[in-house]
Structure 1
Amino acid sequence: MNLLELFILAVGLSMDAFAVAISKGLSMKKMSFKNAIIIGLYFGIFQAVMPLIGYCLGTRFEDKITAFDHWIAFFLLGFIGINMIREALSKEDDEAEEDDSLSFKSMSVLAIATSIDALAVGVTFAFLNVNIIPAVSFIGIVTFALSILGVKIGNVFGSKYKSKAELAGGLILIGMGLKILLSHL
């Protein structure tokens, strides 16, 4: 996986966190850089740790599933992407919009919820023999930066971009899944 592909994947993975960060920004009456950093750290750290966990699980079972690993990657990324698109097009209020707390419990739950897809990507990294430490570091840094940006955008522009970010993230993940599948067929 080259740097451009990793960047595109990192952006796709970070779109859930970006959307929630926009929601957090919406709830702030005045932009607080300290709070934006806290939000960015939660999302960035979880987005880096989850693919590492997935990678460890994937390498443990790699010898049992290498014949169909590209199909697993395709279906996992496609499923996650479709769910992100479905959420983006949904008219329901997001639970994160109702909770403007930055407590450890609240932020941990949000960070886990937005990084479940990164766990699945970590499994695919094991099958693709990706150099995991630079990859997860890059994903964490991109998510951190985009989360801070999301807080600022949410604070300035409101909820206008939230669903568009989720939609873009879903499309990116589906595209990466298709690329992986087609490169192995």
Structure 2
Amino acid sequence: MSAPFASLPVAHIAAALPLEVRLAVAVVAGFGATAIMTIAMDALPEGDVPPYVAAAALFGRSPGSVTKRQADAAHYAAGMLAGVIYELVVSGVDSVQTVAQRLVLFGTPTPLTLSDPVAIVLVITFLYVFFARLVFPRFGDRLFEDADVRRTVRRDWLVSATVYGVALLTVVPLLYAFLPVG
């Protein structure tokens, strides 16, 4: 029965579940958030560059020689890993909070607690810095050398990472709401 859990903050639902279940939810949520982020990336001028550069780093090739399948594999694997990082940060923050305070937006209680936006900010920051400052300069080849392209790719990546974070904040509570536990 998921009805009793649907009204609880995500942290309270997650706290009642084994870590393996929480991490599985995080992987699925990371995949879903990545799919949503991909829609946003497709609308940006240089939005598809990060998956190709990430795949170039993983496969030891130049971004231009990476296949779409390899770029998608790197992109979705990174998104699922970021979902796991999110869950680990949430769990860590919740373990030091004495009471997980439920967030209220526009006067309406949400299924989120204070740890959720803290974790999202950390994940977005990690995603941006890791790609824009470490992966892109090393594996971006000629794309990184052109200052205008470099700026556009970094801006597009910040937008994409932010969309990912907002999507993750939406997908995680939905998954817990429909999780058959109880």
TM-score (norm. length: structure 2): 0.34
Larger Rg computed on CA atoms: 2
Higher relative contact order (CA 8 A, sep 6+): 1
Q: Which has the higher helix share?
A: 1
Larger strand percent: 2
